[in-house]
Structure formats: structure tokens, C-alpha cells
């Protein structure tokens, strides 16, 4: 094995050379004493406990909202208004975006660059797009509500309230994306405690606004819960900003900033993964549309969803093929 790879530790010569360069540059990922099994177990425990706390608080949040609104029209309006914001939370805060960015940041740090800088650069690009998306959702709230909850049109008052609540919650799409970018930067530096606790801050904020509505009957409970969702997303993002500032100062001393090519490559790989991860959520929206009396949706959704899944798979395949071809050209040169 040693003769085959040409290095005493079993690494190929090219990898051994990168290993030595990383150690000389002071990159902690290349140190001989870098993350041991004990630290990995500790990080796993931190993430597990944080996730458990968040899930328990999420149960309390949903139970409190159900107790507060019951089976009223406000409950139907709030459920419809939260479909897209909660889908954005699962995609950005708990899904593909944070995972993809974490992997890209780790690769950048292995190259001797700034993983935190790469995460923030990609997040700034996404902030522009998700900002436009949030504004578009606010402007076209009526059209979106007709698409995802067509049955509410039969009850004009409930439909109007759903449109209002969705406009309040729409900026949450932007805030949860910002929180996911910070989470990816912290994960790339093996900082798991704060990112695992910030979802609990979101749940606590929503619970607090629900309690405020419960003790003030004159206030509209649906509006207060929607405001709690928006404030919770902003709090989840701002709670991680001080830690990100510390990482920027640490990496700025030894890591080179990410170049435009690396940022563009990381940014281009995100859409395919996000669409692929969105399929369960889109399937849920499709099932809601199929259950509606709208005949057009019944015939459109069975064709739309498989086509979207196929497009995401093909896009990811061609991106991988293009990257492999570029790597082959570099090695041959």
C-alpha cells in the first residue's frame, strides 16, 4: 500500500503534498490532532440535544397555536399563509442550503481560503434574490393564495385574512436564508452549539407572541402569530451575527478571501440541490391542490412535479460533469 501510493501514511502523492502545504500554512484542518472521535461525539451530542429542544418547543408552538385559534377561519388563514414560509425554513434553515454551503466552506478552508468569507459571499448573492422573491410574494399574495389554497376563495373573509397574514410572513423567507448562511459558516469551523440553539429562539418567539395574543383578547391572534414568525426569523439570524464577526477576524489573519470564481461555482451548485430537496414540500402543495375543486390544478400538478424533479436531477448531473471536465483539463495542463 505504501509503495502504491508513494507516501508512508497511504495518501497519494498529490494529496500528501496538499497535506503538507496545509500544515505549513497553519490550517487547523490539516493538523495531526484535528477533530478526534471524542470531539465528533461531543459535536453530535450538541446537535442532537439542540435539535431535540427545538422539536419539543416546536410541538409546544403548534399546540399553543391550535389552542389559541382552534378550528376558526383564522386558523385556516394562518395555515395557508405559513405554507411557503415554512417550506423556505425547511429548505434554507434545515435542508440543502445549509448543507451545501457547509461542504463548500469546508472545501475552501482545505484549500487555505476563508470558509466564512465564502459563505458570506454566497449569502450576499442569495440575499438579493430572496429579497426580490419576498417582495414578489408580498405584491402577488392574492395570486399565490389562490394557487396554494384555492378552497379559501369560497370564504372571502378568510381568504382576505390569509392574504394579509402571508404578506406579513413573506419577509421571513429572506431572514431564514440569512440565518442558514451564518449556520453554514459556523458549521464549517466546527461551531455547532449556537446554530443548534437558534431554531429554539424562533419557536420561543412565536410562543411569546401567541401568549401575548392569549392574554389580550382585543388583539388579532392570527396577526400576532404571523408577526412572531417574522420576528423569530430575524432573531434566529441576528443571534449568529456576533459569532460570524469573530470568525471573520480569525480567518482574516490567515485565510485568503474567496475569489469570484469559487463563489460563482458554489452559487451555481445550489439551485439544483434546493429544487431536489423541495420535492417533498412541493408534493404537499400538489396534494393540497389535487384535493381542491379546481379542475385545472388536478391535471397540471401530476405533470409539473415529476418534470421539476427530472430537471433538478439533470441539472445536478450536468454540473458534476462540467466540474469533472474542468478538473481533467487542469490536471492535463
Find the range with the poorest average confidence among 11-20, 100-109, 271-280, 323-332: 11-20
What's the CA gap between 166 and 81, in Å, rounded? 4
11-19 long-range contacts (CB < 8 A, ≥24 apart) are: 18/110
What's the average model confidence in pLDDT over 1-13? 47
Percentage of residues in the chain having pLDDT higher than 70: 65
Check pLDDT > 60 for residue 142.
yes
What's the CA gap between 145 and 161, in Å, rounded? 11
Say if CB 152 and CB 189 are below 8 A apart: no
The per-residue pLDDT for range 197-223, each reduced to its tens digit, is 899 999 999 999 999 999 988 888 999
What's the average model confidence in pLDDT over 150-168? 89
Question: What size, in residues, is the chain?
Answer: 333
Q: pTM of the predicted model, to two decimals?
A: 0.73
The per-residue b/e assignment along 153-189, b for 16 or more CB within 10 angstroms, e otherwise, is beeeebbebbbbbbbbbbbbbbbbbbbbbbbbbbbbb
The C-alpha cell at 249 is 477576524
What's the CA gap between 91 and 275, in Å, rounded? 9
- Mean pLDDT score of the chain: 76
- Phi, psi (5° rounding) for residue 70? 60, -140
What are the residues whose beta carbons fall under 8 Å from the beta carbon of 302, sequence distance 6 or more?
A: 286, 290
CA dihedral 12, 41, 188, 85 (to 10 degrees): 130
- Phi, psi (5° rounding) for residue 113? -95, -170
Closest CA to 275 of 223, 313, 322: 313
Say if CB 181 and CB 237 are below 8 A apart: no
Vertex 88: Cα angle to 309 and 108 (nearest 5): 80
What's the CA gap between 121 and 119, in Å, rounded? 6
CA dihedral 130, 136, 142, 148 (to 10 degrees): -40
Say if CB 179 and CB 233 are below 8 A apart: yes
Can you say whether the dihedral through the CA atoms of 252, 254, 257, 258 is positive or negative?
Answer: negative
DSSP character at residue 92? I
pLDDT at 293: 52
pLDDT at 320: 59
The per-residue pLDDT for range 280-300, each reduced to its tens digit, is 666 666 666 555 555 444 445
Domain chopping of the chain, boundaries? 39-265, 279-287+297-333
What's the CA gap between 278 and 90, in Å, rounded? 9
Check pLDDT > 80 for residue 165.
yes
The per-residue pLDDT for range 17-61, each reduced to its tens digit, is 555 655 555 555 445 444 455 667 787 888 888 889 989 999 999
Say if CB 171 and CB 226 are below 8 A apart: no
In 140-259, which ranges are continuous DSSP H helix? 141-148, 156-169, 172-188, 193-214, 221-238, 241-254
Highest mean pLDDT among 116-125, 152-161, 297-306 belongs to: 152-161
What's the CA gap between 224 and 230, in Å, rounded? 10
The C-alpha cell at 110 is 482545505
Say if CB 80 and CB 149 are below 8 A apart: yes
Q: With bands split at pLDDT 50, 70 and 90, how would you rate the model's confidence at 103?
A: confident
Neighbour tally for 6: CB within 10 Å: 12
Say if CB 22 and CB 112 are below 8 A apart: yes
The C-alpha cell at 39 is 470531539
- Phi, psi (5° rounding) for residue 256? -80, 145
Say if CB 315 and CB 272 are below 8 A apart: yes
Amino acid at each position: 500500500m505504501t509503495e502504491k501510493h508513494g507516501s508512508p501514511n497511504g495518501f497519494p502523492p498529490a494529496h500528501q503534498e496538499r497535506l503538507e502545504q496545509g500544515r505549513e500554512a497553519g490550517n487547523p484542518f490539516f493538523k495531526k490532532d484535528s477533530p478526534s472521535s471524542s470531539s465528533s461525539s461531543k459535536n453530535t451530542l450538541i446537535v442532537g440535544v439542540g435539535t431535540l429542544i427545538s422539536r419539543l418547543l416546536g410541538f409546544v408552538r403548534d399546540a399553543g397555536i391550535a389552542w389559541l385559534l382552534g378550528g376558526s377561519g383564522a386558523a385556516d388563514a394562518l395555515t395557508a399563509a405559513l405554507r411557503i414560509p415554512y417550506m423556505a425554513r425547511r429548505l434554507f434553515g434545515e435542508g440543502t442550503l445549509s448543507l451545501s454551503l457547509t461542504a463548500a466552506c469546508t472545501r475552501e478552508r482545505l484549500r487555505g481560503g476563508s470558509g466564512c468569507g465564502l459563505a458570506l459571499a454566497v449569502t450576499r448573492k442569495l440575499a438579493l434574490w430572496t429579497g426580490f422573491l419576498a417582495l414578489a410574494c408580498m405584491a402577488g399574495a392574492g395570486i399565490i393564495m389562490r394557487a396554494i389554497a384555492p378552497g379559501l376563495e369560497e370564504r372571502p373573509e378568510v381568504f382576505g385574512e390569509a392574504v394579509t397574514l402571508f404578506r406579513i410572513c413573506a419577509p421571513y423567507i429572506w431572514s431564514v436564508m440569512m440565518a442558514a448562511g451564518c449556520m453554514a459558516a459556523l458549521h464549517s469551523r466546527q461551531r455547532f452549539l449556537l446554530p443548534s440553539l437558534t431554531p429554539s429562539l424562533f419557536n420561543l418567539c412565536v410562543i411569546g407572541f401567541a401568549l401575548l395574543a392569549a392574554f389580550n383578547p382585543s388583539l388579532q391572534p392570527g396577526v400576532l402569530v404571523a408577526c412572531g414568525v417574522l420576528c423569530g426569523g430575524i432573531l434566529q439570524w441576528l443571534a449568529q451575527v456576533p459569532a460570524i464577526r469573530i470568525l471573520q477576524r480569525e480567518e482574516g489573519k490567515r485565510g485568503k478571501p474567496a475569489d469570484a470564481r469559487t463563489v460563482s461555482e458554489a452559487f451555481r451548485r445550489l439551485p439544483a440541490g434546493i429544487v431536489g430537496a423541495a420535492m417533498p414540500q412541493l408534493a404537499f402543495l400538489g396534494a393540497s391542490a389535487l384535493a381542491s375543486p379546481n379542475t385545472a390544478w388536478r391535471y397540471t400538478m401530476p405533470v409539473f412535479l415529476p418534470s421539476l424533479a427530472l430537471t433538478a436531477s439533470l441539472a445536478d448531473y450536468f454540473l458534476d460533469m462540467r466540474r469533472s471536465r474542468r478538473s481533467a483539463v487542469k490536471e492535463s495542463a
